[in-house]
Homo-oligomer: A and B are copies of this chain.
Amino acid sequence: MANTTPSRYPSRGTQDKETLYQIIDEGLFCTVAFVRDGIPHQIPTGFARVENDIYIHASAKSKFIEAIAGSIVSFSIIHLDALVLAPTAFDHSFNYRSVIGFAQAVEISDPTEKLKFFNLFTDRYIPGRINDIGEPNADQVNITKIVKLSLDNAAAKVRTGDVNVTMDSDSAWCGIIPLEQHYGQPQIDHQLDQNSPTPEYIKQLIDGSGKS
């Protein structure tokens, strides 16, 4: 398929599965690119990883999922971790962790496997949610298309740490400005009793997101 070794800064590249899976599992969406009529299209979409595959889904009516089923796509997941401020504009950089891969999108058609994905997809974002709301019904599973993308041909690229140029003591301020992301306070829907307690699993999701 296509080469996943970075052409720039190849030392930042790795195919180590632990690193790959960590970057992927922390991601909330991936960007999937595909070719239609010779033109590169792309769409950001939610996903879930199971072992060495990532799964994405869409309405069976979606043109996107129809276009990619059976085709070669690329996908990317990126976390921007910091701005890196160097002595010259030229040496400024980002700290980031990214994964880029190529795969043939393989459609999942077995309803049992589709249901398993559905539950996993919900619980991967909000652990405990399926237990609270129950599984989707057969119709809902039926009108959803799911494809999987193998991670066999994926690689991570990571920049971390300080500025890597030498500076003297009269240099401008240089260093790292970290970028932080976390969940804020949940807002209960206007249709529900505003005094309903927030479920434990939602509190845990929010508390657990405080550090990244």
Is A11 interfacial (CB 8 A cutoff)? Answer: no
Interface residues of A in 123-173 (CB under 8 A from B): 125-126, 129-130, 132-137, 140, 144, 162-163, 166-167, 169, 171-173
Interface pair A100/B40, CB less than 8 Å apart: no
Contacts of A193 in B (CB 8 A): 169
Question: With an 8 A cutoff between CB atoms, is A14 at the interface?
Answer: no
Residue A59, interface by CB 8 Å: yes
Are A28 and B184 closer than 8 Å at their CB atoms? no
Asked if A22 is at the interface of the complex by the 8 Å CB criterion, the answer is no
B177 and A119 contacting across the interface, CB-CB below 8 Å: no
Out of B137, B180, B192, name the residue touching A173 (CB < 8 Å): B192
Residue of chain B at shortest CB distance from A162: B189
Interface size class of A (residues with CB under 8 A): 35 or more
Interfacial chain B residues near A184, Cβ < 8 Å:
177-180
Contact B173 A119 (CB under 8 A): no
CB atoms of A40 and B44 under 8 A apart? no
Contact B181 A179 (CB under 8 A): yes
Contact check, B33 vs A40: say whether CB atoms are below 8 A apart: yes
Instruction: For residue A211, give the distance in angstroms from its CB to the closest CB of chain B.
Output: 11
Q: With A and B bound together, what is the CA distance between A33 and B89 in angstroms?
A: 26
Asked, given contacts A2-B39, A40-B74, whether A183 binds B180 with beta carbons under 8 Å apart, the answer is: yes
